[in-house]
Structure 1
Amino acid sequence: MSKWIEGKLRDLVEVNPTVKLIKGEIYPFVSMDVIQPFYKPVEAKEEREFKSGGAKFENGDTLFARITPCLENGKIAQVKNLKNGKGFGSTEFIVLRGKEGITDTDFVYYLVTNKSFRENAERLMVGTSGRQRVDKQQFEDQIISIPDLETQKRISSILGSIDKKIELNVEMNKTLEEMAMTLYKHWFVDFGPFQDGEFVESELGMIPKGWEVSNVGSVTNIFDSLRVPLSNKEREKRKGIYPYYGATSLMDYVDDYIFDGTYLLVGEDGSVMKEDGTPYTQYVSGKFWVNNHAHVLQGTNGVSTEWLKVFFDNCNVAPYVTGAVQPKINQKNLKSIPFLLPPQNVRQEFNKNIKNLYEKILINNKENVQLETIRNYLLPRLLSGEIDVSQAEKQVEEVL
Structure 2
Amino acid sequence: MGEWKTYKLCEVADLSTGFPFDGHKYAKEGQRVVRGDNVTIGELRWDKDKRWNEPFARTEEFSLREGDIVIGMDGSRVGRNRAQIKADDLPLLLAQRVACVRHNEKSLQKFLYYQIFSKNFENYIKSVHTGTSIPHVSLKQIGDFSFQVPDLSTQRRIAGILGSLDDKIELNRRINANLEAQAQALFQSWFVDFEPFRDGPFVDSQLGKIPQGWKVEALSNLATVIKKGITPSNAETYSHYSIPAYDDAHFPEKQSGETIKSGKYIVYNNSILLSKLNPRIKRLWFIKTAEENAICSTEFIPIQTKDTDLISFVYYLIDNDIFYQHALSLVNGATGSHQRFHAEDIMQIPFAWNKVAAIDFAQKANYILQKIEDNIRENQTLSALRDTLLPKLIAGEISC
* TM-score in same-fold range (> 0.5): yes
Are 2:379 and 1:368 equivalent residues in the alignment? yes
Q: Secondary structure at the residue paired with 1:29? A: strand
Given candidates 62, 76, 79, the residue that maps to 1:69 is 76
> Does residue 118 in structure 1 map to residue 125 in structure 2?
no
Q: Quick one: structure 1 residues 109 and 227, their matched pair in 2 at CA, closer, same or farther if it must change by over 3 Å?
A: farther
Partner residue in 2 for 1:205: 208
1:188 corresponds to which residue?
191
Shift of the 18–282 alpha-carbon distance from structure 1 to 2, 3 Å rule, reads closer
Q: Give the CA deviation at 1:144.
A: 2.7
- More displaced, 43-52 or 198-207? 43-52
Q: Please list, as runs of the form range in 1=range in 2, the aligned pairs for 1:127-138 lying within 5 A after superposition.
A: 127=131, 129-138=132-141
Alpha-carbon RMSD: 3.4
Aligned match of 2:151? 148
* Counterpart residue type for residue 290 of structure 1: C
Change (3 A) 1:5 1:260: farther
Q: Contact 1:229 / 1:292 at 8 angstroms: preserved in 2?
A: no
How much does 1:327 deviate?
0.8
Report the equivalent of 1:318. Answer: 328
Equivalent residue for 2:349? 337
What secondary structure is seen at the aligned counterpart in 1 of 2:280?
A: coil
Percent identity between matched residues is 25
- Of 319, 336, 357, the residue aligned with 2:368 is 357
Deviation per CA, 1:301-344: give whole Å up to 9, x if none.
4762322222122221122211124111112112111133213x
**Contact between 1:306 and 1:355, CA under 8 Å: does it hold in 2?**
yes
SS at match of 2:193: coil
Partner of 1:2: 2
**How far off is 1:228 after superposition?**
6.3
2:396 is aligned with 1:385: yes
TM-score normalised to the size of structure 2?
0.81
C-alpha distance in 1 between matches for 2:244 and 2:331: 14
More strand per residue: 1
Secondary structure at 2:174 match in 1: helix
Q: Find out whether 1:306 has 2:312 as its counterpart.
A: yes
Q: Which amino acid in the other structure matches residue 148 of structure 1?
A: D
Structure 2 CA distance for partners of 1:35 and 1:241, relative to 1, 3 Å: farther
Contact 1:58–1:82, Cα closer than 8 Å, also in 2 = no
Structure 2: which amino acid aligns with 1:311? L
Q: 1:247 to 1:375 in 2, by over 3 A?
A: closer
Written as runs of structure 1 = structure 2, the 5 A alignment for 1:156-235 is: 156-226=159-229
Distance 2:12 2:162 in 1: 21
Does residue 346 of structure 1 match 2:357? Answer: yes
- Partner amino acid, structure 1, of 2:272: L
Counterparts of 1:242-321 in structure 2 under 5 Å? Answer: 242=239, 244-246=241-243, 249-250=246-247, 253-255=253-255, 258-259=266-267, 261-269=269-277, 271-274=278-281, 279-285=282-288, 286-287=290-291, 288-301=294-307, 304-314=310-320, 315=323, 316=325, 317-321=327-331
Query: Whole-Å Cα distance in 1 between the matches of residues 363 and 373 of structure 2?
Result: 15
Q: Say yes or no: does 1:13 pair with 2:13.
A: yes
Q: Classify 1:247/1:119 alpha carbon distance in 2 versus 1 (closer, same or farther; 3 Å).
A: closer
Runs of 4 or more above 6 Å deviation = 52-55, 227-230
Task: Say whether the 8 Å CA contact 1:247–1:266 is kept in structure 2.
Answer: no
Residues 299, 92 of structure 1: CA spacing in aligned structure 2 closer, same or farther, 3 A cutoff?
farther
Does the 8 Å contact 2:16/2:139 carry over to 1?
no
* Letter aligned with residue 350 of structure 1: F
Gaps of at least 5 residues in structure 1 are 390-400
Residues 1:42 and 1:338: Cα distance change in structure 2 (over 3 Å):
same
* Counterpart secondary structure, 2:76: coil
Name the SS for the 2:298 alignment partner. Answer: coil
Q: 2:260 matched to which residue of 1? A: none
Q: For residues 266 and 18 of structure 1, what CA distance do their matches in structure 2 show?
A: 34
Distance 1:132 1:76 in 2: 15
Deviation (angstroms), 1:260: 5.0
Work out the CA distance in 2 between the residues paired with 1:385 and 1:247.
Answer: 30
Residue identity matched to 1:351: A
How far is 1:8 from its partner?
Answer: 2.6
What's the CA shift string for 1:102-145, capped at 9, x where partnerless?
A: 11101111101111121111222123x22221122233234332
Offset from partner CA, 1:129-182 (integer Å, 9 cap, x none) = 222211222332343322222111111111111111111111111111111111
Q: Deviations over 1:183-231 (max 9, x none)?
A: 111111111222233322211112122222121122123233337699x
Task: Tell me the residue number matched to 1:103.
Answer: 107
- Structure 2 Cα separation of the partners of residues 253 and 341 of structure 1: 36
Match in the other structure for 1:392: none
- Partner of 2:345: helix, strand, or coil? helix
CA deviations on 1:335-383 (whole Å, 9 max, x unpaired) are 111133213x222211112212222212211211111111111111212
Distance in 2 between residues matched to 1:9 and 1:113, nearest whole Å: 13
Distance of 2:201 and 2:109 partners within structure 1:
62
C-alpha displacement at 1:95, in angstroms? 0.8
Taking structure 1 as the reference length, the TM-score comes to 0.81
Structure 1 CA distance, aligned partners of 2:2 and 2:212? 73
Q: Distance in 1 between matches of 2:35 and 2:319?
A: 21
Would you say 1:59 and 2:69 are equivalent positions?
A: no
